[in-house]
Structure 1
Amino acid sequence: MGRPRIADGPRKSHLPAKIRVYELARELGLTNKETLDLCVKLGIGVNSHSSSIVDAQADRVRRRADRDGLIRPPEPEPEPEPEPEPEPEPEPEPEPEPEPEPEPEPEAEAPRAH
């Protein structure tokens, strides 16, 4: 009654696995341009570094790069420079408490003339 139940779990795709040219370049320690040039030499149709190629093509590029001695260890990503700690602000010097002003002495009342 209704739709047939699909088994749980990952589906197996019959499509070949793919990798982007820029990922392959990073893996081989090459620039994107060097990797694109290798693909063109091997007749692999790619347009840009974000083009995808199947694993079999990627293996051909790997073998060619190895044979031509192009493979370099991948450059580690530069560590971000730690932000300089802000200099602690100098504590403001406590203001001296004002001295209490002496109370003026009451002036003597001048005698009034009648």
Structure 2
Amino acid sequence: MSTYILPVVLLIASNVFMTFAWYGHLGHKTAPLWIAVMVSWGIAFFEYWLAVPANRIGHQVYTAAQLKTMQEVITLVVFAGFSAFWLKEQLSLTTLAGFGLIACGAALVFRG
């Protein structure tokens, strides 16, 4: 797989794990906090196994700023889907507009 594409795929997978680690427990509010923390920590372990290689491989063709920007935009897209489908929360137009503005800022980083 291309050095340009593989980091993107790994970052997407990493962000799915990260989003579940950080926010998945919100769907299980009756679970004790210590269990939520331990489960989240376990999920985050796998997120790191994807994020670190994504950045190591990606840094061959992208700057660190581009990788970070890419990761943030991917995070917003993954979170938007997670929020709607897992947490059953609707995304307002203002939230979507805010995410869009962040994406516009990301585009500036890549024009660099």
TM-score norm. by structure 1 comes to 0.20
TM-score norm. by structure 2 comes to 0.21
Which structure has the highest strand share of the two?
A: 1
Structure of larger gyration radius: 1
Which structure has the highest helix share of the two?
A: 2
Higher RCO (C-alpha 8 Å, min separation 6): 2
